[in-house]
Amino acid sequence: KNEVEQSPQNLTAQEGEFITINCSYSVGISALHWLQQHPGGGIVSLFMLSSGKKKHGRLIATINIQEKHSSLHITASHPRDSAVYICAVLNTDKLIFGTGTRLQVFP
């Protein structure tokens, strides 16, 4: 069993839909990252959080430390949100990555 599990693996949506990507982990962590990777490989760090909730534009990330679970929400999705979203947890100063969620948003 992977230490970081993401669901779903693939997600398609129509423009404007509300999207949720989930991440569960089984190790102790000091922080959790949500990353976005576009075709071509470049990775952008969207959020780093250790408790509660963060919001940036249409993106919202939440974490529940007791349940070892985090969610990434995208409100009013847009085709430019199409990318792979990766959850990564910081465990003993090392990042452990989930396998990613491939999101496609159609106009």
- CA angle, 32 then 37 then 38, to 5°: 160
Residue 33 Cβ, how far from other proteins at the closest point, in Å?
Answer: 7
Nearer to other proteins, 17 or 49 (CB): 49
**Residue type, position 44, single letter:** V
Which tokens hold the place of 16? 């404007």
Nearer to other proteins, 1 or 94 (CB): 94
Residue 18 Cβ, how far from other proteins at the closest point, in Å?
Answer: 25
Binding pattern to other proteins, positions 30-59, x when CB under 8 A? -x-x-x----xxxxxx--x-----------
DSSP output for 14-36: ETT--EEEEEEE-S--SEEEEEE
DSSP output for 37-49: E-TTS-EEEEEEE
Residue entry with tokens 């085709």: 79
**Footprint on residues 60-99 left by other proteins (CB under 8 A):** 86, 88, 92-99
Residue 42 Cβ, how far from other proteins at the closest point, in Å?
Answer: 5
Residue 20 Cβ, how far from other proteins at the closest point, in Å?
Answer: 21
